[in-house]
């Protein structure tokens, strides 16, 4: 039977009857299995009621003060362009300018993930968007961590976790630098641009990223915060990764993981820069990795097909995992009319390491469960593929503990995943034992 999702969870006697004959991947199964989200932005995942509460408290003007109104005007199911998609971030960032707000955002994001079965979460954000006269980078990171830790501690005190029946919840923080910024992005960037007003733009971007890289390492090594990786986000075209080489060299030499937004709105050469100039361990999106037609005509690449083949082989061979965000990619790419046109299936067929993520839960109006369901229903992912995608999320995570601790945790997760498989689909070895 073809694998598919079902909108109606199967329960009770119906579940027992279905086990022996039905291989349907249900929403109930997708929600129950342990999952990861390795690519989710804090600001882009703020609850809309929280946005409204904070806007009223801090005097931030919104286009609407109802959830339905904001869904209609700002956080839509489909966007006209990447600029339209990014429009809502001006409101989200504006309300996250205090330690209290950042702590609340971190806590609620962790709880929302826990409630749908996410057991490992890596939250990324750009501290420089929240720095101002009364709050530095360390304070920003500490505030978000307090919220995440509170949610984690509450979850891990549950009897199911304490008894070992369920794996615990873990998380990490990814610090994001910006490929491009202007004085209008935040108070910090306004001051930074003014202080470097006689410098070329490339140098301004380089210095800002390097300053943030030092803060990320300091936060981890001196303050014990679970900063697990350094990231580069923002507009790719015209803002090459090589401008931020020094920052990534710095974190690389301090044994910090690297992930880079690349191949989202630009071609394979952007991914090439990420893995060569910035030592990327993972790639955010990577949509155009295997697409020679996406290579810029002025790139100087003589044989696009050979270039893409070699790059794809390098990424696959080095197990550089792609953090795929299906809904977000469909929303921000005007040339993609449906998920059937997404490269995810092609990437899987090429055995590239992939995992599914949300990108922005609020802006994209999605969850990890929904992303998995879309892969099953729209892209034909079967149970074997699904398990590989989910498990690889845990294996390629930037786990904050030791390597041996990570291995034990992943083993515990796999055991729990297989227990849930048996619950929904029956014991595959039962017939052999009878």
**Nearest Cα to Cα of residue 167 among 356, 424, 414:** 414
Domain membership flag for residue 26: no
Residue 392 contacts residue 355 (beta carbons within 8 Å): yes
Residue 5 domain-assigned? Answer: no
Q: Strand 170-178 to strand 118-125: parallel, antiparallel, or no bridges (unpaired)?
A: parallel
Predicted structure pTM score: 0.93
**CATH classification of the domain holding 227:** 3.20.20.140
Whether residue 13 is contained in a domain is answered as no
Range of the domain at 235: 33-433
Strand partners, 35: 118
Is 263 inside any structural domain? yes
The one catalytic residue among 122, 264, 323, 421: 264
In contact, 179 and 248? CB cutoff 8 Å: no
In sequence order, what E strands does 263-375 have? 282-285, 321-324, 354-356
291, part of any domain? yes
Q: How far apart are CA 143 and CA 138, in angstroms?
A: 9
Tens of pLDDT along the chain (434 residues)?
A: 344 444 333 333 333 333 434 689 999 999 999 999 999 999 999 999 999 999 999 999 999 999 999 999 999 888 887 778 888 999 999 999 999 999 999 999 999 999 999 999 999 999 999 999 999 999 999 999 999 999 999 999 999 999 999 999 999 999 999 999 999 999 999 999 999 999 999 999 999 999 999 999 999 999 999 999 999 998 888 899 999 999 999 999 999 999 999 999 889 999 999 999 999 999 999 999 999 999 987 788 999 999 999 999 999 999 999 999 999 999 988 888 899 999 999 999 999 999 999 999 999 999 999 999 999 999 999 999 999 999 999 999 999 999 999 999 999 999 999 999 999 998 876 544 44
Is the residue at 300 inside a domain? yes
Smallest Cα–Cα separation from 328: which of 294, 388, 268, 286? 286
Residue 11 in any domain: the answer is no
Domain count of the fold of the chain: 1
- Give domain status of residue 18, yes or no: no
264 is catalytic: yes
């Amino acid at each position: 039977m073809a694998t598919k999702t079902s909108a109606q969870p199967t329960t009770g006697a119906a579940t027992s009857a279905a086990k022996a004959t039905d291989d349907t991947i249900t929403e109930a199964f997708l929600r129950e299995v342990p999952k990861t989200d390795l690519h989710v932005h804090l600001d882009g995942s703020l609850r809309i009621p929280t946005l409204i509460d904070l806007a009223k408290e801090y005097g931030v003007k919104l286009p609407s003060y109802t959830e339905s109104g904001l869904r209609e005007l700002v956080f839509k199911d489909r966007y006209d362009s990447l600029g339209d998609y990014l429009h809502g971030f001006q409101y989200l960032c504006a309300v996250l300018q205090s330690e209290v707000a950042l702590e609340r955002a971190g806590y609620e994001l962790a709880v929302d993930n826990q409630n749908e079965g996410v057991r490992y979460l890596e939250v990324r954000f750009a501290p420089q968007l929240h720095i101002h006269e009364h709050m530095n980078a360390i304070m920003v990171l500490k505030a978000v961590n307090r919220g995440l830790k509170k949610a984690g501690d509450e979850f891990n005190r549950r009897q199911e976790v304490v008894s070992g029946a369920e794996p615990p919840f873990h998380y990490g923080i990814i610090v994001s630098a910006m490929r491009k910024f202007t004085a209008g992005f935040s108070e910090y960037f306004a001051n930074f641009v003014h202080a470097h007003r006689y410098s070329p733009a490339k140098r301004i971007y380089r210095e800002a990223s390097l300053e943030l890289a030092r803060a990320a390492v300091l936060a981890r090594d001196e303050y014990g915060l679970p900063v697990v990786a350094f990231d580069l986000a923002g507009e790719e075209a015209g803002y090459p990764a090589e401008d931020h080489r020094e920052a990534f060299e710095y974190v690389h030499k301090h044994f910090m993981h690297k992930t880079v937004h690349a191949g989202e709105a630009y071609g394979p050469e952007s991914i090439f820069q990420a893995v060569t100039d910035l030592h990327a361990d993972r790639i955010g999106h990577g949509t155009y990795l295997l697409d020679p037609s996406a290579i810029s005509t002025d790139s100087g690449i003589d044989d696009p097909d050979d270039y893409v083949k070699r790059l794809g082989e390098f990424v696959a061979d080095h197990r550089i995992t792609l953090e795929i965000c299906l809904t977000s990619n469909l929303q921000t790419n005007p040339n993609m009319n449906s998920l059937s046109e997404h490269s995810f299936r092609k990437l899987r067929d090429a055995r590239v390491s992939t995992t599914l993520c949300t990108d922005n839960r609020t802006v994209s109006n999605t969850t990890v469960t929904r992303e998995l369901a879309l892969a099953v229903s729209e892209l034909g992912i079967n149970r074997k593929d699904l398990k590989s995608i989910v498990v690889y999320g845990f294996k390629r995570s930037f786990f904050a503990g030791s390597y041996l601790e990570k291995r034990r945790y992943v083993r515990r997760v796999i055991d729990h995943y297989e227990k849930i498989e048996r619950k929904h689909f029956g014991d595959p070895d039962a017939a052999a034992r009878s």
